Amino acid sequence: DMREEEVETAIKVVIVGNGAVGKSSMIQRYCKGIFTKDYKKTIGVDFLERQIEVNCEDVRLMLWDTAGQEEFDAITRAYYRGAQACVIAFSIVDRDSFEAIQDWKRKVEDEVGQIPTVFVQNKMDLADETLVAQKEVDDLVANSRLKLFKTSVKNNVCVDDVFKYLAEKYLEQL
Ligand code: GDP
């Protein structure tokens, strides 16, 4: 048998950000295609996966949900271990969540170093009620040189793009 053995690429992606910005919802949306208002977060180590094709290559994305709250710091350590890509999420109707994204970026870098990372500005369907000016976001993003995705997990806007981009970035650096 002369066929080369297919070695599939698997990427561990961690999704971080303050509580209630939509991290669990994003994982459910992307991996299961569902959005529920009252998705109950399981405490502990948990991930969902989805396989996509990037540049004719099969890539398996494993999306890990972090507990988010500092009280679970000991648990979240385990989430970061071996992370190969990262989503830093905030919600436009939660100012604190926006102000925390630099801290999240530092935290991830402290744990795993530099890995492909993006910012996600979620709940864009609530733009009428936004508590974050777009200019603030754009200024911060320009300084960090990371890409920003404006998503509505609820309406399934731009969610696929986030993970496709991360997979591409990951493959580029191999
Ligand atoms: P997590 O704590 O960051 O994992 O946040 P969750 O995924 O538990 O979401 C918190 C709440 O925000 C839930 O009620 C979700 O249904 C809601 N939510 C998540 N994404 C969106 C979105 O894009 N738009 C709106 N309107 N609500 C969202």
The string of pLDDT tens digits covering residues 11-46 is 999 999 998 999 989 999 999 999 987 765 555 547
Rounded distance from Cα 132 to ligand 1 centre (Å): 17
Q: Residue with the nearest Cα to atom 13 of ligand 1?
A: 37
Least confident interval from 28-37, 109-118, 124-133: 28-37
Q: Which long-range contacts (CB under 8 A, 24 or more apart) does 100-108 make?
A: 100/17, 100/18, 101/17, 101/140, 102/140, 102/144, 104/16, 104/17, 105/144, 105/146, 107/16, 108/14, 108/16, 108/80, 108/83
Do 130 and 93 meet the contact criterion of CB atoms below 8 Å apart?
A: yes
Reported confidence tier of residue 69, pLDDT bands at 50, 70, 90:
low
144 Cβ contact list (under 8 Å, min separation 6): 102, 105, 119
Task: Summarize pLDDT for 114-123 with one digit per residue, the tens.
Answer: 999 999 999 9
- Range scoring the smallest mean pLDDT among 38-52, 74-88, 137-151: 38-52
Q: 10 Å Cβ neighbour count for 129?
A: 9
Atom number, ligand 1, closest to the C-alpha of residue 152: 23
Ligand 1 centre from 24 Cα, in Å?
7
Contacts of residue 10, Cβ cutoff 8 Å, sequence gap at least 6: 59, 60, 61, 62
Closest among 93, 95, 109, 141 to 16, alpha carbons compared: 109
Q: Compute the distance from residue 22 Cα to the ligand 1 centre, in Å.
A: 4
* pTM of the entire predicted model: 0.93
Residue 72: its pLDDT value, please?
A: 62
Q: Which atom of ligand 1 is nearest to the CA of 29?
A: 20
Phi first, then psi: give them for residue 83, nearest 5 degrees: -65, 135
Q: Would you say how long the chain is, in residues? A: 174
Ligand 1 neighbours (beta carbon < 6 A): 19-25, 37, 39, 41, 68, 122-123, 125-126, 152-154
